[in-house]
Amino acid sequence: MKFNRRTFIKRLFIAAASIETFFLIKGSISKTHLEKDKKELFNAGKADSFEKNKPYPFLTGQFFLRRFDDGGFIAMSIKCTHLGCIVQSNIKTGGFNCPCHASQFNRFGEVLSSPATRPLDYFPITIKNGDILVDTSKPTKRKSFSKSQLTYV
Ligand code: FES
């Protein structure tokens, strides 16, 4: 087999490109894996500072925090599940209204009137040293409200 200089350089470039491609793919897979496990904890403050049955908006965290009668906390997304507009709390009903296409949600985030078809997403909460920490990287979809979505001190 004849192996001239041109062929050698060509094969050297192909080998270098293959090695670089391998590390680029490997790096992006590792990065994706890390980002999947990444938590974005938003400190909403001390648990005992929140009154029961009152929605507390956290616009930077993009959630409403509510403490129910039994003391359980839930952090519901402020994004309407129809097309993502920002919902507003309804003082009369204790629920939420969407200004875009008039969807309404009850105080648990469940749909009262369409076009939204599913409840507001909610975020996992952990309570550490009395602080409410909301993981805003993990909005969770649900079909209805259940007590398992609440976090207690
Ligand atoms: S985005 Fe809320 S009802 Fe359409």
C-alpha of residue 33 to centroid of ligand 1, in Å? 32
State which H helix or E strand residue 34 sits in: helix 5-37
Q: What is the pLDDT of residues 77-118, one digit of tens each?
A: 999 999 999 999 998 889 999 999 999 999 999 999 999 999
pLDDT at position 103 is 97
- For 41-149, CATH number? 2.102.10.10
pLDDT at position 138 is 87
C-alpha of residue 70 to centroid of ligand 1, in Å? 31
pLDDT at position 31 is 47
Please answer whether residues 136 and 123 qualify as being in contact, where contact means their C-beta atoms are separated by less than 8 angstroms.
yes
Rounded Cα gap, residues 116 and 81, in angstroms: 6
Q: What is the pLDDT of residues 24-72, one digit of tens each?
A: 555 554 444 445 566 789 999 999 999 999 999 999 999 999 999 999 9
* Range 23-26, long-range pairs (CB < 8 A, 24+ positions): none
User: Ligand 1, from 78, 81, 83: best to mutate by most atoms within 8 Å of Cβ?
Assistant: 83
C-alpha of residue 52 to centroid of ligand 1, in Å? 27
Closest CA to 107 of 131, 134, 82, 74: 74
Closest atom, ligand 1, to C-alpha of 85: 1
64, burial (CB in 10 Å: exposed 0-12, middle 13-18, buried 19+): buried
pLDDT band at 13 (very low <50, low <70, confident <90, very high): low
pLDDT band at 75 (very low <50, low <70, confident <90, very high): very high
Residue nearest to atom 1 of ligand 1 (CA): 83
Question: DSSP per residue over 87-147, as a string?
Answer: PEE-TTTSSEE-TTT--EE-TTS-EEESS--SPPPEE-EEEETTEEEEETT--B--SS--G
Please answer whether residues 58 and 66 qualify as being in contact, where contact means their C-beta atoms are separated by less than 8 angstroms.
no
pLDDT at position 20 is 63
